[in-house]
Amino acid sequence: METFEALDRPGKIIAVHLSYASRAEQRGRRPQAPSYFFKPSSSIAPTGGSVERPAGTELLAFEGEIALVIGTPARWVPVERAWDHVAAVTAANDFGLYDLRGADKGSNVRAKGGDGFTPLGPQLIDAKEADPAGLRVRTWVNGDLRQDDTTAGLIFPLAQLVSDLSQHFTLEPGDVILTGTPAGSTVVVPGDVVEVEVDIPGGPSTGRLVTTVTQGEIPFSDVGAKPAVDDVQRAEAWGSREAAGLPDKENPFTDELRELLRRTPVAGLSAQLRKRGLNNVIIDGVRPNQPGAKIVGPARTLRYLPNREDLFKSHGGGFNAQKRLFDAAGNGEVIVIEARGERDAGTLGDILALRARARGVAGVVTDGGVRDFDTVAETGLPVFSAGPHPAVLGRKHVPWDTDVAIACGGAAVLPGDIIVGDSDGVIVIPPHLAREVAEAAFAQEEEDAWIAEQVAQGQPIEGLFPPDAAWRERYTAWRKKQ
């Protein structure tokens, strides 16, 4: 088996930003297509070497990866022939310094380009012996396994990466493609030993790529951007806020508030929002697919454009915006779809409804149609829509983007707005008003129920609805006894 040192220094090192489903799940975003950045060849380091955490920084993180070594020139290579241009596979560690991500603004020149930031090796696996869908990458820190995934978990197959890059420039012999890291990447500190291994389970292995973290002594000067970190970078570098030792973000939408909103009619919420000057918060023209359906939750938004054949060709197929959102929406969230009030095409069907149900989605609101209407209802997923329609998405719509401000049924909906729906309709509540409005509406509903009881007992409406001072005093006395 050949060692990496037998190769010349590569002319190009191209790295993929996000390629494993496990990492995308951790980051809360799933790309539609691969994106890349370059690393300098001076960042390469052999196994058994060290990587320096620069003085004045704190967030050096490892990323165990599979590296592809190009064997023959590749330009405009179709996916089905792309693997033929790969000579070998080896292990890589794509170290990154999160302290400099802000300064880089996405380029990764400083954050990922430091000397020693790309250890490779120690041995090569002949690509002819490897099934590109059957490779495994594992990473250990101080002997503890931190990453363990296979290329079966890739969003973009390895051959697709080679083919895609060859559209833009010639891949030359010796060039290296770093194919992304799975979940489990986290911060390492001086003294830590990181080991990465790529293998074919039960077959050839690269051996362990060993790197020791050391502490740098020379601080960055004022000639350029200085390191800077915040809690967002800490959470991303460590993998989560919990791992970074940060308190959970304050979430105003608590389980208690969800339950309060669930017990409060939309009509009452509408009245309270109107008192606060918000009249255009009703999603018009939608009805529930199940009698008595109720939805409560923060909005995740999906926007459709009017269908245009060239746009549908580029955005309608594959893992499009529609599928990405249904595959990512989380427990208790409400998917809200802008379909421009177009009733003559479906905006979701039974498969997406099943996926949303499995993800714990609280419901879907669309001002368009729904395919497989009865089957969707049978899934138990509450859906508020303009009604059934058998046509597929491409008849009227192009799935365009997600988690943006949209217009649904004449109402503006922002990601994170609180959506509440019942048999009266669907309302949009700004998050900062949700508790105030819910408590006021619930209190009003209680009062209205008491008034209704008085009317049922034969009391006249005059002076009672709304209550005058005398009736208000009676109600207050009743409340104190409860």
Q: Please tell me the predicted confidence (pLDDT) of residue 2.
A: 53
User: Annotated binding residue at 184?
Assistant: no
Domains in the chain: ranges and CATH = 4-238 (3.90.850.10), 279-429 (3.50.30.40), 444-481 (no CATH)
List pLDDT tens digits, range 109-149: 999 999 999 999 999 999 999 999 999 999 999 999 999 99
Distance CA 148, CA 199 (A): 11
Q: CA geometry: angle at 260 spanning 258 and 261, to 5°?
A: 65
User: Annotated binding residue at 349?
Assistant: yes
Distance CA 33, CA 164 (A): 10
φ/ψ region of 188 (left if φ > 0, alpha if ψ in -120 to 50, else beta) reads: beta
Q: Please tell me the predicted confidence (pLDDT) of residue 249.
A: 63
Q: Identify how many contiguous H helices and E strands the chain contains and give both numbers.
A: 14, 25
Q: Which one-letter amino acid corresponds to residue 145?
A: L
Q: What is the DSSP letter of 230?
A: -
pLDDT surpassing 70 at residue 251: no
pLDDT surpassing 60 at residue 179: yes
The answer to whether the CB of 317 falls within 8 A of the CB of 412 is no
Task: Give this prediction's pTM.
Answer: 0.60
User: Annotated binding residue at 371?
Assistant: yes
Distance CA 189, CA 51 (A): 10
Comparing CA positions, the residue from 164, 161, 162, 86 lying closest to residue 127 is 86
Q: Which residues have C-beta within 8 Å of that of residue 344, sequence separation ≥ 6?
A: 369, 389, 391, 395, 396
**54-58, 315-319, 434-438 — which is least confidently predicted?**
315-319
User: Annotated binding residue at 351?
Assistant: yes
- Exposure b/e, 456-479, CB count within 10 A at least 16 = b: eeeeeeeebeebeeebeeebeeee
Q: Please tell me the predicted confidence (pLDDT) of residue 446.
A: 78
Q: Which of 20-34, 43-57, 455-469 has the highest mean pLDDT?
A: 43-57
Q: What number is the average pLDDT over the span 204-210?
A: 96
In this structure, the strands spanning 295-306 and 418-422 are: antiparallel
Tokens read off for 227: 């390191």
Q: Please tell me the predicted confidence (pLDDT) of residue 6.
A: 42
Q: Please tell me the predicted confidence (pLDDT) of residue 8.
A: 55
Q: Which residues have C-beta within 8 Å of that of residue 299, sequence separation ≥ 6?
A: 333, 334, 335, 336, 413, 414, 415, 416, 417, 418, 419, 428
Distance CA 109, CA 94 (A): 13
